[in-house]
Amino acid sequence: MREEPSFPGAVAPARSYRVHSLGAELQVHEWGDPDALPVVCAHGMFDHSRGFDCLAPLLADELRVVAFDARGHGDSGWVENYTWDNDVADIIAVLRAAGGTGFLLGHSKGGGQVLDAAIALPDDVLGVIDLDGFGPPPEGFDHRRRSEPEKSIPERFAQYLDFRRGARENRSWRPYDGFDALVDRRSQQNPLLSRDWLRYFLYYGAREDADGWRWKVDPHCGSGFGPWKPDWIGESYAQLRVPLLAVIGSVADTWGPLPEDILAERLAGVQQLERATVEGSGHFIHMEKPRETAALVRDFVARHR
């Protein structure tokens, strides 16, 4: 087993506990005064809560930073099925466990889900910080399928259900021969993240089995949430009744940001919108530029708490 790593600026949580939500046990970590105003942090697909280890200590002198592993990720429990609505309910459960009123911060998939949680709880959420979590481009993130003809809604339902049936037979990732092989794989997808950071981050997002290293993620999590259209995003965002800080990076990478015309269209209906761009950052804004991200969050919270 590798020795627990360190990384400049990364601070381990001060407290950890479990929250039960809709059949799943969620692993929760906290930094800061337990009586301070909470900001609940939701990570992206295939990530985990320790990805906030550099951002959290920069906020913890004023806020109670609460980050959790989404169901099926990290050290949270696996379930038989994963739906978008259950992930949103998990965010609400963690906010309630943290006191019931506060801010929500989400990255990527987590960014979209904290927006939906805020729409569901307008009286309990003071504001939302979304870090490049505004949905995929119209053609989706699976670039291999761009040349394929558009499937109908019934065809997409059938494809999703077929995948679910097949996935029941195998719920394990293939093992990697060594930990550095995991780092190599993630580096291919996230070239702007340093290898030193990835070694730290992946230590908490992988496990060593007898036959090698595996991701600590249920493969079912990557099956999507059923048929979906990007046209629905703008309509959903128009229901938001609390302030939104929409943050993107200035550098295009594998996962973002969206073209400006598409992003502006999706955000057009938001009633209390603030936007920011973090220079020199790609999709993983809080990991690549934690100090700049923290400055934006602290300013936003100070004006809306």
Element containing residue 267 per DSSP (H, E): helix 260-267
Confidence band of 164 (pLDDT split at 50, 70, 90): low
Confidence (pLDDT) at 144: 44
**DSSP percent split of the chain into helix, strand, coil, nearest 5:** 35, 20, 45
Q: pLDDT value at position 158? A: 79
* Model confidence pLDDT, tens digit, residues 49-108: 999 999 999 999 999 999 999 999 999 999 988 899 999 999 999 999 999 999 999 999
More confident residue, 102 or 149: 102
Residue 217 is classified by DSSP as B
Cβ atoms of 305 and 129 within 8 Å: the answer is no
The letter for the amino acid at 4 is E
User: How many residues are there in the chain?
Assistant: 305
Q: How far is the C-alpha of 74 from the C-alpha of 44, rounded, in Å?
A: 12
% of the chain exceeding 70 in pLDDT:
90
The alpha carbon dihedral of 239, 241, 242, 243 has a sign of: positive
Q: Are 56 and 11 in contact (CB under 8 A)?
A: yes
105, β-bridge pairs: 41, 129
Q: What is the mean pLDDT of the chain?
A: 91
What percentage of residues in the chain have a pLDDT greater than 90? 77
* Predicted local confidence at residue 152, as pLDDT: 78
Confidence at residue 159, expressed as pLDDT on a 0 to 100 scale: 72
Domains of the chain listed by start with CATH number: 15-138+230-304 (3.40.50.1820)
**Going by DSSP bridges, is the β-strand pair 24-31/38-42 parallel, antiparallel, or unpaired?**
unpaired
Beta carbons of 59 and 32 less than 8 angstroms apart: yes
Q: pLDDT digits over 167-212, tens only?
A: 666 667 789 999 999 999 999 989 999 999 999 999 999 999 999 9
Higher per-residue pLDDT: 107 or 164: 107
163-167, 217-221, 246-250, 291-295: segment of lowest average pLDDT: 163-167
Average pLDDT over residues 27-40: 98
Whether 229 shows a pLDDT value over 70: the answer reads yes
Beta-carbon contacts of residue 27 (< 8 Å; ≥ 6 apart): 16, 18, 49, 68, 69, 74, 75, 76
What mean pLDDT do residues 257-263 have? 96
Q: What amino acid is encoded at 84 in this protein?
A: W
In which element (H, E) is residue 20 found?
strand 15-21
pLDDT of residue 141: 61
Give the separation between CA 5 and CA 50, rounded to whole angstroms.
Answer: 12
Measured CA to CA, the distance from residue 247 to residue 132 in angstroms comes to 6
